[in-house]
Amino acid sequence: MSILNIKINMILAHDFGLGIGIDNKLPWKIKEDLDLFKHITNGHAVIMGRKTFDSLPFVRGLPNRLNIVITRDESKHGSTDGPDVIYADSIITAIFIANKHHDTAFIIGGKTIYEDSLKFVNGNIYITTVKTNHECDTHISEDFFREMQDLQFTRLFYYDYDKFIFTIHKRIKDI
């Protein structure tokens, strides 16, 4: 029996060229997509790399969510930054912290964390495909989507918005 009861999901947005970021920011600003992100992750734990945390417009993390920030900076491991931000030394530690406080967590990026944590996702992956080719310096790799296939993620939902396509993929194969 698993000691983890938590549902681990992932949420990401990429464009047609698989770009996800530039200058440590999102390359686009699409209100409907930000609203979806907020609605889906609100009230849950969010797990992210330190660079993504630095890119947030909120100094104390995303409001109304437990922000778990992964860093190699040993001086920060286990420390907090206000009531809703805690630092972890690895993805596994971040998942254990989330499991203590919440029943649902979302991995919210960036590239390194998405690619290294896909195998831990036992719930859904929410993907926004922005209908443009933005200039980006950070891309999600094609291997990420091959790994999604290997792990038998199956598309549950598809909706074609004006500026982006939104899909939900559920993991069928057990971890």
Ligand X SMILES: NC(=O)c1ccc[n+]([C@@H]2O[C@H](COP(=O)([O-])OP(=O)(O)OC[C@H]3O[C@@H](n4cnc5c(N)ncnc54)[C@H](OP(=O)(O)O)[C@@H]3O)[C@@H](O)[C@H]2O)c1
State the burial class of residue 134 (Cβ atoms within 10 Å of its Cβ: 0-12, 13-18, 19+): middle
Under the binding rule (CB under 6 A), the answer on residue 171 touching ligand X is no
Instruction: Determine which residue in the list 9, 46, 47, 52 makes contact with ligand X, applying CB under 6 A.
Output: 52
Under the binding rule (CB under 6 A), the answer on residue 167 touching ligand X is no
Under the binding rule (CB under 6 A), the answer on residue 51 touching ligand X is yes
Q: Which residue has the tokens 């091959």?
A: 146
106: enclosing H helix or E strand: strand 104-107
Nearest residue (CB) to ligand X, 15 versus 174: 15
DSSP 76: G
Nearest residue (CB) to ligand X, 6 versus 48: 48
State the burial class of residue 140 (Cβ atoms within 10 Å of its Cβ: 0-12, 13-18, 19+): buried
Tokens of 85: 């931000």
Nearest residue (CB) to ligand X, 62 versus 108: 108
Tokens of 36: 């979806």
Instruction: Determine which residue in the list 30, 66, 109, 168 makes contact with ligand X, applying CB under 6 A.
Output: 109
Q: Which residues bind ligand X (CB under 6 A)?
A: 12-13, 20-21, 24-26, 48-52, 55, 70-73, 89-90, 108-113, 116, 138
